[in-house]
């Protein structure tokens, strides 16, 4: 009885490694996205805090120069927020692209695994037929000898 050998095993292993690689790529892309989203939340929080500080300063009384400084700081925060939003949008697009690649690669792996399963079932069937044939021959031979 010979050992089962799947002829597309190398391709299957390559596809599995590719799938694993894409999974880690997706994980890294999601981590970058989450980091950028956290940074955006920090920037927005800084902006809100800045507005609160301005309100407190206005009620207490402050110089125009200090209000100008806060205003320029808020404008700078707005620019950083907009840049961060653009980066998040690009990163979202990249994550979607990687997910699509992972989906396609996963489908390919499943196809090759299903093929392997089918080939194995066929192999087992052929082996059982061969075994039955040998058993038949043995029984026939024994019956012939005993006569």
- Residue-wise pLDDT for 29-79, tens only, equals 999 999 999 999 999 999 999 999 888 888 888 888 888 988 999 999 999
CATH level 3 topology of 13-140: Helix Hairpins (1.10.287)
Instruction: State how far the Cα of 119 lies from the Cα of 1, in Å rounded to an integer.
Output: 16
The DSSP secondary-structure symbol of 8 reads: T
Instruction: State how far the Cα of 79 lies from the Cα of 120, in Å rounded to an integer.
Output: 61
Residue written as token pair 């039955």: 132
Instruction: State how far the Cα of 122 lies from the Cα of 132, in Å rounded to an integer.
Output: 15
- Residue-wise pLDDT for 120-133, tens only, equals 999 999 999 988 88
SS3 assignment, position 3: coil
pTM: 0.74
121-142 in b/e form (b: 16+ CB < 10 A) is eeeeeeeeeeeeeeeeeeeeee
What are the boundaries of each domain within the chain?
13-140
């Amino acid at each position: 009885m010979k050992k089962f050998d799947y002829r597309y095993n190398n391709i299957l292993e390559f596809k599995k490694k590719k799938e694993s690689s894409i999974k880690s790529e997706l994980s890294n892309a999601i981590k970058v996205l989450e980091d950028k989203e956290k940074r955006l939340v920090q920037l927005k929080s800084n902006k809100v805090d800045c507005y609160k500080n301005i309100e407190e300063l206005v009620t207490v009384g402050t110089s125009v120069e200090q209000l100008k400084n806060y205003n320029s700081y808020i404008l700078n925060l707005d620019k950083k927020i907009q840049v961060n939003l653009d980066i998040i949008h690009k990163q979202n697009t990249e994550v979607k692209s990687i997910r699509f690649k992972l989906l396609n690669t996963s489908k390919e792996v499943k196809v090759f695994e299903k093929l392997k399963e089918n080939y194995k079932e066929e192999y087992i069937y052929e082996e059982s037929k061969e075994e039955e044939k040998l058993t038949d021959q043995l029984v026939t031979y024994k019956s012939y000898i005993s006569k």
